[in-house]
Amino acid sequence: MRTTNSFAATSPLPNWQSDLNPANKLFRSLFWERAVFFLLAKVERLPPNLQNEIATRVGEYISLARTAKDDATLTRFIDAAAGERAKVAQGAKSTANPLWTASALAEAWCVSRLGVSNGSLNRYAAMSVSTAIEAFASGRAAWFTSSTHVGQKRR
């Protein structure tokens, strides 16, 4: 009589809250993508002079962060942007504050690049965020205003 248990050697399924669960990575990525797009939509409703100042700051930060050759260096850029945003947030956390918004967008760009590099974010969500931020920083953000990513109705 054979008494081997066919499922005894299989590993347990990942916990639904575990990072090993691919659905968690997808939902976390989509939620994060939506939050960044919501911030970009708010920025695009600001006066043009504030938009230009924010875009210039983000563009300069991206130019510096592109020099990162590894994940550790990119993480330092994320920490620097988060630290700058935290210092500015003590005064006022608002999209009308160009320092806060620029550092938040720069941090989001770095996080998306790191997420693609180490696989912590869904590739498509991370690439769409970095592309949208790059487009905003370079002044080609007109495509974003007609988008319905943030749940706005088309005109």
Amino acid at 139: G
What is the domain range of residue 86? 38-145
Answer yes or no: is 22 within a domain.
no
Q: Is residue 112 domain-resident?
A: yes
Within a domain: 17: no
Number of domains present in the structure of the chain: 1
Q: Is 111 a domain residue? A: yes
End-to-end alpha carbon distance in the chain: 73
**Residue 31 amino acid letter:** F
Q: Is the pLDDT of residue 105 over 80?
A: yes
pTM equals 0.73
% of residues, the chain, pLDDT over 70: 72
- For the chain, the average pLDDT equals 78
Report yes or no on 64 lying in a domain: yes
